[in-house]
């Protein structure tokens, strides 16, 4: 009997596929519209509403799963950059380039949908940005007169602006990426 119970605890392959399909659909749809419903996500994933709610009992649970996936992806790109040694300003420049790469891959990172999560869970990038700027502040390379939280907010806003310029075809992705990096650095460097 205990073997039967153990088998029930292991996720079935069709359950894993459904869960991944729901998560992928959520990530794709939330990029286009922050107020997308779980019903719309289930339909796009090719599963029933009930199946979606079995895997993700609430919209907030699904948003947390999306946020976790984005955090994993961000870590894969940013961990090697953050582990670099040398001037923090150079690390920050590479970090901003990594962020732009992630935004290109996952525009959802700039979606207001994730802003509905509690502040401690919002955007996998904000806390990492804060930590990197604090590291630079302690090294004397980042402006100490401007609050770090303000710099993080400005950097995120610059990301939104750059993404909008690409979406409206005012700039190419490369042009917007360079402007994003350079503008963000100007906000953070002392003596500007």
pLDDT in tens, 17-62: 999 999 999 988 887 787 889 999 999 999 999 999 999 999 889 9
- Rounded to whole angstroms, the Cα distance separating 80 from 83 reads 5
Which letter, b or e, does each residue of 26-45 get, where b requires 16 or more Cβ atoms within 10 Å of its Cβ?
bbebbbeeeebebebbbebb
| Residue bearing the bigger pLDDT, 121 or 162 | 162
Q: Which domains does the chain have, with CATH numbers?
A: 1-57 (1.10.10), 66-192 (1.10.357.10)
- 135 within 8 A of 85, measured Cβ to Cβ: no
Predicted TM-score (pTM) of the model is 0.69
Q: Give the model's confidence band at 179: pLDDT under 50 very low, under 70 low, under 90 confident, else very high.
A: very high
- Which carries the bigger pLDDT value, residue 39 or residue 11? 39
* pLDDT at residue 184, as a whole number: 94
| pLDDT of 145 | 92
Span 140-177, pLDDT tens digits: 999 999 999 999 989 988 988 888 888 788 999 899 99
Q: DSSP letter string over 92-107?
A: HHHHHHHHHHHHHH-G
């Amino acid at each position: 009997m205990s073997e039967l119970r153990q088998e029930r605890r292991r996720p079935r392959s069709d359950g894993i596929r459904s869960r991944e399909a729901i998560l992928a659909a959520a990530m794709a749809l939330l990029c286009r519209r922050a107020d997308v419903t779980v019903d719309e996500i289930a339909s796009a994933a090719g599963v029933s509403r009930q199946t979606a709610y079995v895997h993700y009992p609430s919209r907030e649970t699904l948003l947390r799963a999306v946020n976790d996936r984005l955090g994993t992806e961000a870590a894969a790109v940013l961990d090697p950059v953050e582990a670099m040694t040398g001037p923090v300003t150079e690390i920050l420049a590479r970090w901003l380039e990594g962020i732009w790469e992630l935004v290109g891959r996952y525009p959802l990172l700039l979606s207001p949908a994730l802003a509905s999560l509690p502040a401690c869970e919002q955007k996998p990038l904000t806390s990492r940005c804060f930590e990197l700027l604090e590291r630079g502040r302690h090294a004397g390379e980042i402006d100490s007169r401007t609050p770090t939280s303000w710099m993080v907010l400005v950097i995120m806003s610059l990301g939104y602006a750059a993404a909008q310029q690409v979406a409206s075809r005012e700039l190419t992705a490369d042009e917007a990426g360079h402007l994003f990096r350079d503008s963000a650095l100007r906000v953070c460097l002392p003596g500007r």
